[in-house]
Amino acid sequence: MSIEYKFPEGFWWGSAVSATQIEGAAAEGGKGLNIWDYWYAIEPNRFFEGVGPETTSDFYHSYQDDIKRMKDIGHNSFRLSISWSRLLPGGRGEINQEAVKFYNDVINELIAHDIEPFVNLFHFDMPLEMQEIGGWENRQVVDLFVDYANVCFDLFGDRVHKWFTFNEPIVPVEGGYLYDFHYPNVVDAKRAIQVGYNTMIASAKAIEKFRSHHFGESQIGIILNLTPSYPRSQNPADLKASEIADLFFNRSFLDPSVLGSYPHKLIQLLEEHGQLPETEEGDTELMAANTVDLLGVNYYQPRRVKAKDHLPNPYSPFMPDWFFDNYEMPGRKMNKYRGWEIYEKGIYDIMINLKENYGNIGSFISENGMGVQDEERFMKEGRIEDDYRINFITGHLKWLHQAIEEGCNAKGYHLWSFMDNWSWMNAYKNRYGFFSVDLETKERKPKKSAYFMKNVAEQNGF
Ligand code: BG6
């Protein structure tokens, strides 16, 4: 079979997961509570079909077989996250030796299978005790996060050579402090902005700490969900709306992470509305000196915007949405289960933007994927025929390939996700995996896309 789309040698093929979404064993192995355990205990009704985080996909017990499965489908790299509340129950203090053993075993098993572990430190899972003292609003939590990061570097830094401080740090800001889809369910832009700012300080401090170890070739980065903003039209009002959406949802984390400072226009806008966060002396220098080596890009959907149809209610809480409306472009292609538009070219636009405006920083697609409901409908002779997912992946890979041809510095592609997993409030509604997971028995079965991926990885293209 001829290969039309060949990727650069050593391209990273794999998938990504997060601790809370796959490990299960939420009350086992000495793990402390995190905000998901707590929120589910007090409001189980907010989770799809009342399914909580206690067992999820049970990776804690089946990681050995799962890693074999990864090998079977050609993974050469795999991103996991460490659960802060498993390693340091309560977020600080004594190290939980059962957790050390678990993460050591997982890392060693991956390496034994020639799969490079990419390790992320924070994926939406604040230890409950840390939330109780203010979470990211409290600078003390920032320092405790750096202590936790340092424990991870000490324990696993000899074998892990790709680290990430955060996955999608904007999501806890949006979910927890603006739009009510994460605990602590606050709606307050000022607090949201403080949380976002302190998260960036935490990332810079963790990077500084990492570099003090002198790990040689090892790299540290961050994973951002970049949602390119497309204006409805070239009308100046639409263009302005799109520029502001981009400032809030992309550049708020991309600029400080990669360039070491916030966009001037964002600072100006927040200042005009009395929304600037509290800062400390030395913050500017800290951020400037500790930018990332590597950028993970999570891409699922574009953001289409237009100028507002109506002035915002002056008595409503201040929101980014005061400056733009979402635009439902007629004829857009939708993943109707997740309610997200599918726009493959977005991946190319992101990469070109990184090349032109962010020094062509080394990057990779750290998540891309398609969550689909009731996938058993597509079962034929015991296998889920997920051709829609294969089309989704190839559509995005073609544009990624084009970006690389044009000189973009993209080094890999990880699907979300390896196997079906627990999607926060959506629990197991939409399934994302190369492998299906039976929620009763925890049995895994490869979908058609798993075989497709194996071929792509083996041929380094398709
Ligand atoms: C990303 C996250 O936002 O998208 C994952 O890093 C998440 O944690 C994934 O699961 C898919 O989104 P969702 O909301 O359908 O689970």
Parallel, antiparallel or unpaired: strands 444-446 and 435-437: antiparallel
Q: Which of 168, 174, 344, 375 is catalytic?
A: 168
Q: Give the CA distances from residue 435 to residues 122, 254, 390, 421, in Å, rounded to whole numbers and listed in that order.
A: 24, 32, 13, 10
Known active-site residue 341: no
Task: Decide whether any atom of ligand 1 lies within 6 Å of the 344 Cβ.
Answer: no
424 in contact with ligand 1, CB cutoff 6 A: yes
Class of domain 12-459: alpha beta
Cα of 214 vs centre of ligand 1, distance in Å, is 33
Task: Quickly count: other Cβ atoms within 10 Å of residue 345's Cβ.
Answer: 15
* Tokens 């040689």, located at residue: 216
Q: Is 221 helix (H, G, I), strand (E, B) or coil?
A: strand
Q: 79: Cβ below 6 Å to ligand 1?
A: no
Q: Is 167's C-beta closer than 6 angstroms to any atom of ligand 1?
A: yes
In this prediction, residue 2 carries a pLDDT of: 84
Pocket test for ligand 1, best of 168, 368, 414 (most atoms within 8 A of CB): 168
Q: Is 43 a catalytic residue?
A: no
Nearest CA to ligand 1 atom 13: 423
Instruction: Name which of 62, 55, 99, 61 is nearest 81 in CA terms.
Output: 99
Structure tokens at 262: 């916030």
Gyration radius from the chain CA atoms: 21
**SS3 state at 119:** strand
423 Cβ below 6 A of ligand 1: yes
Question: From ligand 1's centre to the CA of 285, what distance in Å?
Answer: 33
**Which residue in 123, 126, 157, 137 sits closest to 38, CA to CA?**
126
What is the pLDDT, as a whole number, of residue 132?
98
By DSSP bridging, strand 162-167 and strand 379-380 are: unpaired
Q: Please give the number of the atom of ligand 1 that sits closest to the Cα of 168.
A: 6
Reading the chain (462 residues) residue by residue, the pLDDT tens digits are: 689 999 999 999 999 999 999 999 999 999 999 999 999 999 999 999 999 999 999 999 999 999 999 999 999 999 999 999 999 999 999 999 999 999 999 999 999 999 999 999 999 999 999 999 999 999 999 999 999 999 999 999 999 999 999 999 999 999 999 999 999 999 999 999 999 999 999 999 999 999 999 999 999 999 999 999 999 999 999 999 999 999 999 999 999 999 999 999 999 999 999 999 999 999 999 999 999 999 999 999 999 999 999 999 999 999 999 999 999 999 999 999 999 999 999 999 999 999 999 999 999 999 999 999 999 999 999 999 999 999 999 999 999 999 999 999 999 999 999 999 999 999 999 999 999 999 999 999 999 999 999 999 999 999
User: Does 416 sit in the ligand 1 pocket, CB within 6 Å?
Assistant: yes
- Check if 56 has its Cβ closer than 6 Å to any atom of ligand 1: no
**Model's pTM, two decimal places?**
0.98
Relative to the CA of 416, which ligand 1 atom is closest? 9
- Strand runs (DSSP E) across 34-96, as ranges? 77-81
Report residue 123 CA to chain centroid gap.
7
Q: What is the Cα–Cα distance from 100 to 93, expressed in whole angstroms?
A: 14
| Residue found under tokens 């800062």 | 279
Phi, psi of 291 (to 5 degrees): -85, 170
CA 292/CA 203 separation, integer angstroms: 9
Q: Of the residues 423, 425, 429, 431, which should be mutated to test ligand 1's pocket, given the most ligand atoms within 8 Å of the CB?
A: 423
Across the chain, which distance is largest between two alpha carbons, in Å?
Answer: 64
Parallel, antiparallel or unpaired: strands 325-326 and 303-306: antiparallel
Query: From CA 16, how far away is CA 13, in angstroms rounded?
Result: 10
